[in-house]
Structure 1
Amino acid sequence: MVDNIVHIEQDRVTNTVSNDYPDTSISNAFRRIMISEVPSVAAEQVYIFNNTSVIQDEVLAHRIGLIPLKIDPDLLNWVDNSVDESDKFTDANTVVMTLDVSCTKNPNAPKNSTDPKELYRNSSIYARDLKFEPQGNQLENFKNPIEPADPDILLAKLRPGQEISLRIHCVLGIGSDHAKFSPVSTASYRLLPTIDIIEPIRGDDAKKFQKCFPTGVIGINNGEAFVKDSRRDTVSREVLRHEEFNGKVKLGRKRNHFIFNVESTGAMSPEEIFFKSVRILKNKAEYLRNCPIGR
């Protein structure tokens, strides 16, 4: 089904999907599953022991909850909410992280400096200051480091005498329960644009024709325009405003060819998110196929 990965970065991937039986609902199902049904790990409970900063406890807990965490969701079980609170969180379903920082004056600060980063120690608290506290056999089970996807997310600013001490329980969840569990920041798709040059376009008209499209869509070879990469087209239809191109070009979209753009929050790779959405949709189809008729 996935016939080509057009562009891939650490947290972003663009790939094309085509099938013989075009149905936009299937592509939209992938998009919705990636946003709301692919599980990831995020902070669920924040236990604040001491917070003398200017940021309120609720706001601090909210900011921590929205930090994407690099934790493989397949290594954790779902929390059983039917059990008592004391037995709910275990090493099999919960990752514990702590934050213990206090701000003090820097005795070696440069004279006449006004930069808080030079005047004080721990003047700014970032996501990198969250420390993983392994429970049970987690050190052996978790092969990769447990850390925030972006270490430079600012959590709070402190001044001498202020401190923060807290403990976090991170659990599995899905985006339909809370946006903090959604592994994507954007997930979208569009139909592949088609540009058919009916009559040759040459000379100065070719250069003008090229400027009617985004960079890289139209190329010029031996003075004649040709379609170089229709995927880059934004379907602005600017070319239709010019009389000299009337009847020489036909614009459209390929109805069974979809271009997906998936941008991850950093919790997992975007290609992993897409393939997990395929697996979830397949499981849904299998469930419906095996359901007794009439239920």
Structure 2
Amino acid sequence: MPHPRFPKIEIQELRDDFIRFELSETDASVANAIRRVMISEVPTLAIDLVSIEINTSVMTDEFLAHRLGMIPLNFDGGLENFRQRFVYSADCDCDENCPNCSVEFSLDVTADNGVLSVTSEALKSSDPYIRPVNFSSEEELNNTQDSGVIIAKLGPGQRLRLSAIAKLGIGKEHAKWSPVAVATYMYDPIITLNQAVLSTYTPEQKAELYKSCPTEVYETDENYEQVRCCAWKVDFILEEAD
């Protein structure tokens, strides 16, 4: 019998901002543990300290600092390099901040003509491998008129100048370090057919049974002589939820 602490994982769908996988040969406690780890235990970079030098917008300094902290940051150097590149501030030997435990960002924008939307693209990073995640996917980039995550809007003549420091952390410490927005799991049903009853069906009745399921959970041959269950499909459930 498979050990519940050594489950099998099969990735069913993987995109830039989404993953769906099947977890098998385990129990719900392991599935929930994985979900909780994804939310609160995976180290990520997030803006932690903000120094606002000039802010003549209608937004308060505290509100701007909160917005900056919630902007996702991306490391383009690969997972292994990320693990070697950064350490937690508490584990670093520096006195305050250094390239091993932090990344500096700067922003200086003035609205010369009309209303100006200040977005995450205006943040300048001290590390070329680290940049704000302006869009969750290429599809979103192509379907939007904005150029990144909006931080504030400046009226004519208003200015915003600040510096920020991003550090390594986990979601358990603060939500800004959580790498996921939503992490959920659901049970896959075990579907069995009563073969004794099914053997009494005519091909027409089997065809009606096959076509009755909107998720196409049944498989059959061309003549509808055999009907059997295939892999459970949840695509329609996810689409309905959206």
TM-score (norm 2): 0.74
Match of 2:204 in 1: 203
Alignment size in residue pairs: 206
**What is the CA distance between 1:68 and its match in structure 2?**
0.6
Of 166, 178, 196, 1:170 maps to: 166
Normalized per residue, which structure has more strand?
1
1:100–1:204 distance in 2 versus 1, CA, 3 Å = farther
- Note if 1:92 corresponds to 2:96: no
Match of 2:38 in 1: 34
Q: Distance in 2 between matches of 1:206 and 1:101?
A: 66
Q: Distance in 1 between matches of 2:219 and 2:234?
A: 12
Describe the SS at the equivalent of 2:152. Answer: strand
The letter of the residue matching 1:92 is N
Q: Distance in 1 between matches of 2:219 and 2:119?
A: 47
**What is the CA distance between 1:13 and its match in structure 2?**
1.4
Match of 1:251 in 2: none
Match of 1:133 in 2: 126
The letter of the residue matching 1:174 is I
Q: Distance in 2 between matches of 1:156 and 1:3?
A: 42
**What is the CA distance between 1:3 and its match in structure 2?**
4.3
Match of 1:183 in 2: 179
Describe the SS at the equivalent of 2:184. Answer: strand
Of 219, 222, 232, 1:230 maps to: 232
Structure 2: 5+ residue stretches without partners: 1-6, 136-147, 238-242
Match of 2:145 in 1: none
Q: Distance in 2 between matches of 1:37 and 1:160?
A: 43
Match of 1:258 in 2: none
Query: 1:30-74: CA deviations, max 9, x gaps?
Result: 111111111111011110000111111111111110011003652
Q: Distance in 2 between matches of 1:103 and 1:56?
A: 17
Match of 2:240 in 1: none
Structure 1: 5+ residue stretches without partners: 106-119, 140-144, 236-295
Q: Distance in 2 between matches of 1:94 and 1:230?
A: 45
TM-score (norm 1): 0.62
1:153–1:233 distance in 2 versus 1, CA, 3 Å = closer
**What is the CA distance between 1:234 and its match in structure 2?**
7.8
1:229–1:82 distance in 2 versus 1, CA, 3 Å = closer
Query: 1:7-30: CA deviations, max 9, x gaps?
Result: 1111211122223xx332222211
Q: Distance in 2 between matches of 1:65 and 1:180?
A: 6
Of 107, 110, 133, 1:149 maps to: 133
The letter of the residue matching 1:230 is W
Asked if the contact 1:42–1:171 (Cα under 8 Å) also holds between the matched residues in 2, the reply is yes
Select the structure with the greater relative contact order (CA < 8 A; seq sep ≥ 6). 1
Q: Distance in 1 between matches of 2:179 and 2:158?
A: 34
Match of 1:217 in 2: 217
Query: 1:168-204: CA deviations, max 9, x gaps?
Result: 1100111111111011112222232222122436536
1:180–1:198 distance in 2 versus 1, CA, 3 Å = same
Asked if the contact 1:217–1:233 (Cα under 8 Å) also holds between the matched residues in 2, the reply is no
